[in-house]
Amino acid sequence: MGYTDVHCHILPQVDDGSQSMDETMEMLRIASRSGITSMIVTPHYKRGRVGTPRDEIGRLLQAVRERAEEEQISIRLYPGTEIYYNSSLEEKLENGWISRMNDTDFILVEFSPMESFPYIRNAIDDIFSMGYRPIIAHVERYGCMLGKPENVRIIHEMGCLVQVNAGSVAGNYGFKAKHFIQKLLREHLIEFVGTDAHNASGRPPEMAKCADLIYRKCDREYADGILFGNAEKYLLGK
């Protein structure tokens, strides 16, 4: 079983991720070499700034799948969105404009790195009250979470699932983030790893180093869960 990347920006020319179909193919080759066999594509949605409607994501995803098949790259691709939370998301979720995680009730949400903890907690409540289940994107990026596992524990107990970035696990973003993630791993507070890949060079879809570390630090069952099993169970398993 290969790894599942639940957070990446590989769709061409829709956000600050891949800028061409060729770059997308290069990213898929890197992902494949790194042991990834499934990816949920999550272009940014930021109200009034960036956003790709669900139909368009579906159309582009099909084009990427076809080209990948021609190039004999074997990775399963699923639709999603990385949603920058705002309090008026409901309409665009309800009318299907925004793509949820593989059309499940799960949505991947991000916040400003400087956002306060009460704001994030209220947002999670708000998302549940709309009838969706939040996955918090790269939990290590927020000032109110980094170094404060107690806050992650609170949102986890609310039912929010937790995603961290593979590069942070591997230590590419400093010791503090790496150390914090190790604490979360010990408490089993993480459900998913994503590469949050934006290109083929500076932020590529690399999972291997992160996976090695997780298998060294965690028991096999939990490691399998965050690297592919939870994605299968919550997002892909139909």
> Which residues here bind Fe ion, judged by CB under 5 A?
82, 196
Q: Where are the alpha helices (DSSP H) in 34-85?
A: 54-70
Alpha-carbon span 154 to 156, nearest angstrom: 5
Provide the minimum distance between the beta carbon of 137 and Fe ion in the complex, in angstroms, as a whole number: 6
Helix, strand or coil for residue 84?
A: strand
Nearest residue to Fe ion by CB is 196
Query: CA torsion angle for 90, 121, 109, 148 (degrees, to 10)?
Result: 180
Cα dihedral across residues 143, 46, 171, 188: positive or negative: positive
Nearer to Fe ion, 26 or 82 (CB): 82
Alpha-carbon span 209 to 229, nearest angstrom: 18
Nearer to Fe ion, 23 or 82 (CB): 82
Provide the minimum distance between the beta carbon of 141 and Fe ion in the complex, in angstroms, as a whole number: 10
Nearer to Fe ion, 115 or 224 (CB): 115
Nearer to Fe ion, 136 or 236 (CB): 136
Provide the minimum distance between the beta carbon of 9 and Fe ion in the complex, in angstroms, as a whole number: 6
Alpha-carbon span 39 to 35, nearest angstrom: 11
Provide the minimum distance between the beta carbon of 187 and Fe ion in the complex, in angstroms, as a whole number: 24
Provide the minimum distance between the beta carbon of 84 and Fe ion in the complex, in angstroms, as a whole number: 10
Nearer to Fe ion, 7 or 92 (CB): 7
Beta-ladder partners of 109: 83, 136
Catalogue the E-assigned strands of 57-160: 76-79, 82-84, 106-110, 133-136
Nearer to Fe ion, 196 or 206 (CB): 196
Indicate the residue type of 215.
Y
Read off the tokens for 194: 């994503």
Provide the minimum distance between the beta carbon of 82 and Fe ion in the complex, in angstroms, as a whole number: 5
